[in-house]
Amino acid sequence: MSSLLTPWRSVAAAFVLNGVLFGTWASRVPAVMTRFDLDEAGLGALLLLLGLGALISFPLAGRMSDSLGAVRVTRRIAAAFLISIVLLGFAPTLPLLGVALFFFGMCHGSMDVTMNSWASEVEKHMGRPVMSSFHAMWSLGAGLGATSGYFAAHAEAPLHIHFAFTAVVAGALLGPLLRFDWPSTTRPKRKGAVSFALPNCTLLLVGFIALASGLGEGVAADWSAVYLHDVVGTAEAHAALGYAGFSAAMVIMRLAADFLVSRLGPAAVARLSGYSAAIGIFLIVASDTLPLVLLGFVLMGVGYAALIPLAFSRAAADRHVPPGRAIASVATFAYGAMVLGPPAIGLLAEATSLRVCFFVVGVSAVLAAALAPVLKQEQVDGAPATGEGH
């Protein structure tokens, strides 16, 4: 095991673990709806609790990471995250499921912050850009989690068995890799320090690109299985394939993103990414057959893979706002959309339909592509982005 404990592998294991647990939950949303007899508005309300838990955890996790060290906090949150998905499976009533989802959201969001802080430390140590590869590992983990949902649904495995089995296997395989002896830095917060800055006009546009991408990722995670099951009419076992295809495409594109940006430039990659996401969504909306809808989710994954990393890179290069504050302002757009967008989709779907909701998300992807030129400004330093986002 000691030969496996390298800084990159240790951080990658944290990203995979986070992705596996989130993907496992996302793949069984239709089963949760059936078990508790939820309609789309009811699911939207539950997802709101998950999102609020994540948003509340962000500043708390940031302060803990600075004062105690990102590595130590990541390990403890990972243990709590494993427990939280088990609690989701065993929740006997709807109110207790809501409490479990809020806790699950807190674990997911806080680990997202701390493992990205750890990743930025390792990136500086390695002396070359590796952040995109870490986010590729998150997408890989999410795809594995969604795949486990496919097999669990096909086998008609109860939620509590599936979630508990996932927690045990993921903890046993990935937990030991988190034990790498890393001297994480600590930075006690200075009095009067500002952790968030209002973005300038350019960063507002960059923030919208991040918002559009965060909305697309959140909708794919929380509504792809429901869309395939309720709108396309696929079996529950096949409904998990949408998010699996989306996540697989994200992995491949994120592994290639750095090379494409170096050859084409960030604006061109962002424009192509936005159009790919939009085409995928419009294909989903216009199709009623499983293969074409799955192709749409793959195109969504290709499109959204690079947008948030590019937005963070542009924020870090801003000449008017310090990098940390600029990244924090853009991150608010990305994560706000990612965790609050899906519940809003549930409410809109209740009033209209899921097809209409996906169409709205597609329009936002087109607008993100139109705003792509803002990403080519101030890209002269070549510093890698160190923000978080999936």
Q: What's the one-letter identity of residue 142?
A: A
pLDDT at position 157: 92
pLDDT digits (tens, 9 = 90+) for 328-371: 667 778 878 887 788 888 889 888 999 999 999 999 999 999 99
pLDDT digits (tens, 9 = 90+) for 373-383: 998 755 334 44
pLDDT digits (tens, 9 = 90+) for 54-111: 878 877 877 787 788 888 899 999 999 999 999 999 999 999 999 999 999 999 988 8
pLDDT at position 384: 43
Contacts of 191 (CB under 8 A, 6+ apart): none
Assign residue 377 a region (left: φ > 0; alpha: ψ between -120 and 50; beta: otherwise).
beta
pLDDT at position 387: 38
Contacts of 290 (CB under 8 A, 6+ apart): 228, 232, 234, 238, 241
Task: Give the count of beta carbons closer than 10 Å to the beta carbon of residue 127.
Answer: 7
Residues of the chain with confidence (pLDDT) below 50: 192-197, 323-324, 379-389
| Residue 135 · residue 309 · CB < 8 Å | yes
Q: Which of 275, 26, 40, 233 is nearest to 147 (CA)?
A: 26
| 32 φ/ψ angles, rounded to the nearest 5 degrees | -65, -45
Question: Which class for 72: exposed (0-12), middle (13-18), buried (19 or more C-beta within 10 A)?
Answer: middle
Tokens 């429901």 correspond to 226
List the domains of the chain with CATH numbers: 2-180+195-376 (1.20.1250.20)
Output the CA torsion sign for 105, 225, 303, 126: positive
Q: How far apart are CA 320 and CA 157, in angstroms?
A: 54
Q: How far apart are CA 279 and CA 273, in angstroms?
A: 10
Task: Give the count of beta carbons closer than 10 Å to the beta carbon of residue 371.
Answer: 18
pLDDT at position 295: 96
Q: Which of 116, 143, 144 is nearest to 130 (CA)?
A: 116
pLDDT at position 356: 94
| CA of residue 90 relative to chain centroid, distance | 24
Q: What's the one-letter identity of residue 40?
A: E
Helices and strands (DSSP H and E) totals, the chain: 15, 0
Q: What's the one-letter identity of residue 348?
A: L
Question: Which class for 128: exposed (0-12), middle (13-18), buried (19 or more C-beta within 10 A)?
Answer: exposed
Tokens 């209209």 correspond to 352
Angle of CA points 175, 240, 161, to nearest 5°: 50
Q: What share of the chain is helix, strand, coil (3-state, %, to 5)?
A: 80, 0, 20
Helix H segments across 127-200? 131-154, 159-174
pLDDT at position 347: 86
Helix (H/G/I), strand (E/B), else coil: 195: coil
Helix (H/G/I), strand (E/B), else coil: 380: coil
What are the angstrom distances between the C-alpha of 327 and each of 20, 134, 185, 318, 359? Answer: 26, 18, 20, 9, 29
